[in-house]
Amino acid sequence: MLKTVDIQSLSLSRGERVLFHGLSVRLPAGEAVALTGANGAGKTSLLRAVAGFIRPDAGTITFSGGPNAGPGLDGETLEPETARRDGVHLLGHLEGLKPTRTARQEFDFQTAWLGGTGAAREAAVARLSLKPLLDLETRKLSAGQKRRLSLARLIAAPRALWLLDEPLAPLDERWRTVAAELMTAHLASGGMILAAVHDPLPVPARNLDLGGLA
């Protein structure tokens, strides 16, 4: 299991605009960091860079495993593209759902691809009360229902690092409480959370403020 994410002297641009430079933060097992900043400051872009989807202009993002971390992880550091394979969940605004497929098809496909076991998948469906939604095409789900489907994916196929983009935004009070419980359990089991937020995270977290627009 991954134990640490280390971001060193990171510079990131989108198009012509430099979002930030010289950004450093270390995320050890069991800890959360809340990314804050104005609209457009680069929070989502940083999450996507950590997931290996955007290359930074400069600096490094490395992942390392602790003792007995598993094949290929003992004492080694990994690049984001490699860590993404079985160490990282990215939960974004768009949820990555095909509109004309049912919630069941999407959940089964995504969790099978991520390596979730049958028992973990069933437990996730129960935890997020998804049964009444599974036969609906995803285009018919509300924003909060889509988010519940994504949260189920997080627990159906465990990954050490959760990259969460506004995780609570579409959820009502009941499901915010459940999401908070899932995050708490994830951290207690040695997981890590890096979350872009405008509201406080519902778990203890260090704050990393990307500031306003450059």
- Cross-sheet strand order for the sheet of 2-14: 17-28, 2-14, 58-65, 77-78
Q: What is the 3-state secondary structure (H, E, C) of the chain?
A: CEEEEEEEEEEEEECCEEEEEEEEEEEECCCEEEEECCCCCCHHHHHHHHCCCCCCCEEEEEEEECCCCCCCCECCEECHHHHHHHHEEEECCCCCCCCCCEHHHHHHHHHHHHCCCHHHHHHHHHHCCCHHHCCCEHHHCCHHHHHHHHHHHHHHCCCCEEEEECCCCCCCHHHHHHHHHHHHHHHHCCCEEEEECCCCCCCCCEEEECCCCC
* Residue 150 amino acid letter: S
CB contact at 8 A, 90 and 28: no
- Closer residue to ligand ATP (CB): 114 or 169: 169
Binding site residues, ligand ATP, CB under 6 A: 14-15, 17, 19, 37, 39-45, 196
- Closer residue to ligand ATP (CB): 15 or 132: 15
- Closer residue to ligand ATP (CB): 73 or 197: 197
- Closer residue to ligand ATP (CB): 61 or 124: 61
Supply the minimum distance, in Å, between the C-beta of residue 46 and ligand ATP: 7
Supply the minimum distance, in Å, between the C-beta of residue 196 and ligand ATP: 6
Supply the minimum distance, in Å, between the C-beta of residue 24 and ligand ATP: 18
- Closer residue to ligand ATP (CB): 42 or 65: 42
Supply the minimum distance, in Å, between the C-beta of residue 42 and ligand ATP: 4
- Closer residue to ligand ATP (CB): 1 or 171: 171
Supply the minimum distance, in Å, between the C-beta of residue 151 and ligand ATP: 19
Supply the minimum distance, in Å, between the C-beta of residue 204 and ligand ATP: 22
